[in-house]
Amino acid sequence: MQEKKRRRWFYGRKGLNTSSPKSEANSLPGSPSAKLYRHIVDLPLSRFKECDIRGNLAALVISGYPDPSELEKAWFEIQCEYQDARGDAEYKAYLIFRKEVQLLKITLRQIHICIKQLSDILQIGNIDPGIVELKDSWTKELNKHLHTTFVFDFDQPDAFVHDLQRCFNRSKGEKIYLDLKEARLEALEQKFGEKKKADDAYYESLLISLSDAAGYQLKDDITVFQFCERITRLIQKNKAAAQQQQSGSRRINK
């Protein structure tokens, strides 16, 4: 009787309120593999615009059903590649730090999902091979995120509950670390986060300029890498022309 009470105490304890959207929990682990655009060399500019302007990260999906966290990671990598190709190193560093904060958030959310799932599994009581396999799967996921080696033995329910509480306590340390990072990110946001957001007109204007330089119409079916490379070359060409004109003016004035 006491054992059953302890199980309910853990499940209903206020501090362990780790509820998450059902779809989010089901995506860990065992979700079908998905194919995504992950690099600017093959990502069409049209899909990049969809992510950048409208925040529709589903535009990165080629096939399958990726976990939302997988989409977020892919988008951050693409943003860093984009800024690197455009030559904005300082802004790229900001994006990398923002990515780190976002990944910490994702990890903490996944830790809580794992704890919640294992707590639910412990309530079932009817242990069969399928339940054991599910328990082992969530245990592996939780140990991966916390860098631990917990076992969660059904035959030792008190230890099972105790170890889940230990995992939750460890997650508090992750939360403190995340809070520190978020405070630093907030300071960086004041410098970089308020940059004017790009819109369709912004990209269309650049494509017109690039088309004028190329001598033919360019559309947003080119890759992001091609887009960035053409901008870089156009800037270099304009700088060279300006320097040549300035040099010619100096000779005339002499």
Q: In terms of Cα–Cα distance, which of 166, 124, 170, 123 is closest to 146?
A: 170
State the amino acid at position 40 in one-letter form: I
**Calpha distance 74→38 (Å, rounded):** 5
> String of b and e for 178-198 (b: at least 16 CB within 10 Å)?
beebeeebeeeeeebeeeeee
Cβ neighbour number for residue 132 with a 10 Å cutoff: 12
Residue in the structure block whose two tokens are 């919640």: 116
**Calpha distance 218→230 (Å, rounded):** 11
pTM of the model: 0.55
Looking at residue 248, what is its pLDDT?
A: 58
Looking at residue 16, what is its pLDDT?
A: 42
State the amino acid at position 67 in one-letter form: D
Reduced to 3 states, what is the DSSP secondary structure of residue 225? Answer: helix
Looking at residue 37, what is its pLDDT?
A: 96
Q: Is 230 left (phi over 0), alpha (psi -120 to 50) or beta?
A: alpha
Angle, to 10 degrees, between the axis of helix 129-146 and the axis of helix 157-188? Answer: 40
Cα radius of gyration (the chain): 26
Looking at residue 22, what is its pLDDT?
A: 39
Asked if 121 and 153 count as a contact pair (C-beta separation under 8 A), the reply is: no
User: Interior CA angle at 24 toward 117 and 110, to 5°?
Assistant: 60
Question: pLDDT 10s per residue in the chain (254 long)?
Answer: 444 444 443 433 444 443 333 333 343 443 457 899 999 999 999 999 999 999 999 999 999 988 888 898 899 899 989 988 887 666 766 777 888 888 889 889 999 999 999 999 988 866 788 888 889 999 999 999 999 999 998 888 899 999 999 999 999 988 998 888 888 788 777 766 655 677 898 889 889 988 988 899 999 999 999 999 998 888 787 777 767 766 655 555 55
User: Interior CA angle at 56 toward 53 and 60, to 5°?
Assistant: 110
Cβ neighbour number for residue 66 with a 10 Å cutoff: 23
**Calpha distance 56→220 (Å, rounded):** 17
Reduced to 3 states, what is the DSSP secondary structure of residue 134? Answer: helix
Looking at residue 183, what is its pLDDT?
A: 83
Q: Which residues lie below 8 Å from residue 65, measured CB to CB, with a gap of 6+? A: 31, 32, 34
